[in-house]
Amino acid sequence: MRFIILYAAISLVLTITAASSKKIVCYFGAWSVYRPGNGKFDINEIDPTLCTHLIYSFVGVDGKDVKVLDTWSDLPENLNGFGKFVSLRKKNPSIKIMVAVGGWNAGSVPFSQMAGDPVQRKAFAQNVVMFLKKYQFDGLDIDWEYPAQRGGSQEDIKNYVKLARTLKKAFSQHGYLLSAAVAAPESSASKSYNIAEMSKYLDFINLMEYDFHGPWDGHTGMNAPLSASSSDSGNELKLNIKASVNYWVKNGAPREKLILGIPTYGKSFTLSNPRNKGVGAPATSPGTAGPYTREAGMLGYNEICEMHKANDWEIHQDKERGVPYAVKGNQWVSFDDISAIIAKAKFVKQENLGGAMIWSIETDDFKGICGKRYPILKALNSILGRV
């Protein structure tokens, strides 16, 4: 009996530890400090107890150097974004605070040129170490979008591994973390990565499990479906979270290093015919820009919840794909509601993945306009055992 009780107690402790060891990685888009009205974000509004890792986005690659992209927003002599960000440690001493290099707007070419030159690659790693030390970051997130694509070279695939290895070696004596944001679906990842090799040098891998569909398709589609639908065929069967996670695991990524990306935004479309409004309906253009993000074709969760609160939107749950969409007139938006977030967090646990990531913290309902503050982050924390 004593043995059974002891065994049960140990099992409970291990279960709690496993759950609470899941990472919750929160990206912050620094440009959000310039947004208007309720969308204007201040770093001091971040609740660092809801994240295990915070990542400041972005800095750039300039040859062998790290380039500050917004000197007004980032640097101490102005808005001091870097300083405010790392000061969040005071509220959560265990948090890891990192900086991301690259992003979509940076393109692929600057990375390709630097990583392909052994001298520049080594110098870049040394300069990153100095940058992290100067601004007191805990590590670097590589956001190269994407190796061997967008003007890059086929050599990028092996040079990405060399870059990761060089950075990891330079970081080792300082204890800095190295992660990467990567294309999730097979259709893109298969062109860009030697998954097994790159995984050796990365502490964790942020799977960008969103943008599976968008206005570029010419028809409506889900931004971040959990599963395929029975109506999907061909490549569509691979454009979902379950298929892409399976691809990464099958190709050598350790499950415990994979962090499941979850969007705090939706993809929006303008319907060709408002009466034809299902998934796959023809769309003429991106949806109308929101008042805060001001980008046609996307809406932050904070914008979506305010719009739904104020207007008569039809919300449809796609039970097969595991995410909803909403329609009003000729406007159509695919997004993640709280039930979709919970389902994805449960998937993280079921698949023994390393945790979840959000892109990005400033489009959660951070002001609590529609209810409690940070509903998406709090839903993740509730399932992943952190609150």
Look up residue 150 and give its two tokens. 């967008």
Residue count of the chain: 387
CA distance 265 to 251: 29
Angle, helix 338-350 to helix 375-383, in steps of 10 degrees: 30
Look up residue 72 and give its two tokens. 């007004």
Write the DSSP symbol of residue 136.
T
User: Cβ distance 332 to 220 under 8 Å?
Assistant: yes
Active site residue 145: yes
Q: Which residues pair with 327 in a beta bridge?
A: 314, 332
User: Cβ distance 263 to 203 under 8 Å?
Assistant: no
- The active-site residue out of 145, 186, 209, 362 is 145
The residue type found at 199 is S
CA distance 230 to 232: 6
What's the Cα-to-Cα distance from 150 to each of 21, 129, 248, rounded to whole Å? 36, 28, 22
Residue 281 burial (CB count, 10 A):
18
Q: What is the β-pairing status of strands 96-102 and 139-143?
A: parallel
User: Cβ distance 331 to 288 under 8 Å?
Assistant: yes
Continuous segment of H or E residues that includes residue 226:
none
CA distance 383 to 20: 10
3 state SS for 38-57: HHCCCHHHCCHHHCCEEEEE
Enumerate residues 6+ apart whose C-beta is below 8 A from 198. 160, 161, 164, 180
Enumerate residues 6+ apart whose C-beta is below 8 A from 33. 40, 41, 42, 43, 73, 79, 81
314: helix, strand or coil = strand
Q: Which residues pair with 357 in a beta bridge?
A: 25, 261
Question: Which residues are part of the catalytic machinery?
Answer: 145
